[in-house]
Amino acid sequence: MVKKMQIDILSPYGYCKGVIHAINIVKELRKNNPNTPIYIWGNLVHNNHVTDALKKLDIITIEDNLKDKTIEKLSKLKKGFFVTTAHGANKKIVQEAEKLGFLHISATCPIVSNIERKIEKEINENKKEIIYYGIKNHPELEAIISINSQKIHAIYSKNDLNKYNLNNMSLAVQTTVLIDDLKAIKKCLPNINLINNICNETTIRQTKLNEIKDSYYDRIIVVGDKKSNNTKELYKIANNKSKKTMFINNAEELSKEIINQDEKILIVSGASTPKAIVDQIIDYVKFGIKIELDDKKILL
Ligand code: SF4
């Protein structure tokens, strides 16, 4: 009997505008400064294929989990560009890097920058404090808190709300959290002013995935880096939709049992997952061919 495989891709797929913006900034920087060291503090975007492709352009990623040791590490490096990532950056570290003689280049997503400005305005002009819901240790959260650590209070679940007197507070959230988590928090705080900042790129993918009938697909393959919060949130939704949900980073993680099966498959990918990886996975699942990755395609 001929096997009938169906593969659908959840649209949109490929990079969001913020990721394209960040990649273009560092590519231009390298093109115009072929001999100057370029360091990125943390992953430019949360995808290891992008980090690896940048490394081949001699653009070095410095771990962002060094905390207090970051400046010590920087002080030992040859001076050059200090690039901060699409997620934003801790303002204090940027200042310290500049004091050391590095030239700061921001690759922050314009949507994140806009949220930072809104939060600053809420604190400075409207005299409010902020409850900020996000993911512990995520660079976007750390960047936001660094705006004013006295007036911005991080929460990681709605249970954390009990710790605060919520008078004169506004609520803001990380751009990539689950819409349902925001709704649950907002329900506890019906009168709070919400600086609504979940990114559209995140909501569209989440909403479309939510709309799919449970068990319609035999298998859902979520593609992205495990560091990517928006991809992790998509995985949480997908996991409730299909018994055979997988979270993989590239075709290397697939075994041959998956090739050309009689299955209905949905491929879902995060906002920092390269299209080339999704295409590689489709080729493997359909034909059993693992196409080698092309750095040019990873970096657009
Ligand atoms: S997901 Fe949204 S906020 Fe995050 S980088 Fe992409 S466009 Fe910017």
Pocket test for ligand 1, best of 108, 176, 196, 201 (most atoms within 8 A of CB): 201
pTM of the predicted model, to two decimals? 0.95
**Residue among 63, 64, 35, 40 at smallest CA distance from 53:** 40
Q: Is 202 in the pocket of ligand 1 (CB under 6 A)?
A: yes
Helix or strand holding residue 71 (H, E):
helix 69-75
The amino acid present at 33, given as its one-letter code, is N
CA 299 to chain centre: 16
pLDDT score at 47: 98
Question: What distance in angstroms lies between residue 38's CA and the mean position of ligand 1's atoms?
Answer: 23
pLDDT at 3 over 70: no
Boundary of a domain, candidates 198, 221, 246 = 198
In a shared domain, residues 194 and 207? no
Boundary of a domain, candidates 108, 133, 162 = 108
In a shared domain, residues 89 and 116? no
| Residue 69: band (very low, low, confident or very high) from pLDDT cuts 50, 70, 90 | confident
Residue 49 is assigned to a structural domain of this protein: yes
Domain containing residue 140: CATH number: 3.40.1010.20
- Count how many domains the chain has: 3
3-state secondary structure of 268: strand
- Do the bridges between strand 38-41 and strand 59-62 make them parallel or antiparallel, or are there none, so unpaired? parallel
- What Å distances lie between residue 75 and 93, 99, 102, 139, CA to CA? 12, 10, 10, 21
Query: Given strand 103-106, what is the order of strands in its sheet?
Result: 59-62, 38-41, 81-84, 103-106
In a shared domain, residues 84 and 31? yes
| Residue 289: band (very low, low, confident or very high) from pLDDT cuts 50, 70, 90 | very high
Residue 1 is assigned to a structural domain of this protein: no
Q: Which atom of ligand 1 is nearest to the CA of 16?
A: 6
Boundary of a domain, candidates 108, 140, 155 = 108
pLDDT score at 176: 93
Q: How do residues 230-288 score in pLDDT, each as one tens digit?
A: 999 999 999 999 999 999 999 999 999 999 999 999 999 999 999 999 999 999 999 99
| Residue 65: band (very low, low, confident or very high) from pLDDT cuts 50, 70, 90 | confident
Residue 142 is assigned to a structural domain of this protein: yes
Q: Which atom of ligand 1 is nearest to the CA of 112?
A: 3
Q: If you take atom 5 of ligand 1, which residue's CA is the nearest one?
A: 18
pLDDT score at 1: 60
In a shared domain, residues 11 and 81? no
Mean pLDDT value across residues 138-157: 96
Which residues have C-beta within 8 Å of that of residue 165, sequence separation ≥ 6?
A: none
The parent domain of residue 171 ranges over 111-198
In a shared domain, residues 207 and 251? yes
**Residue among 5, 6, 4, 8 at smallest CA distance from 266:** 8
Pocket test for ligand 1, best of 23, 108, 112, 138 (most atoms within 8 A of CB): 112
In a shared domain, residues 221 and 292? yes
Lowest mean pLDDT segment, chosen from 21-30, 58-67, 143-152, 200-209 = 58-67
Q: How do residues 70-85 score in pLDDT, each as one tens digit?
A: 889 999 999 999 999 9
Residue 281 is assigned to a structural domain of this protein: yes
DSSP 5-70: -EEEEPSS-S--HHHHHHHHHHHHHHHH-TTS-EEEES-SSS-HHHHHHHHTTTEEEEPS--TTHH
Mean pLDDT estimate for the chain: 95
Q: Is 172 in the pocket of ligand 1 (CB under 6 A)?
A: no
pLDDT at 2 over 80: no
Q: How do residues 97-139 score in pLDDT, each as one tens digit?
A: 999 999 999 999 999 999 999 999 999 999 999 999 999 999 9
Q: If you take atom 6 of ligand 1, which residue's CA is the nearest one?
A: 18
pLDDT score at 49: 97
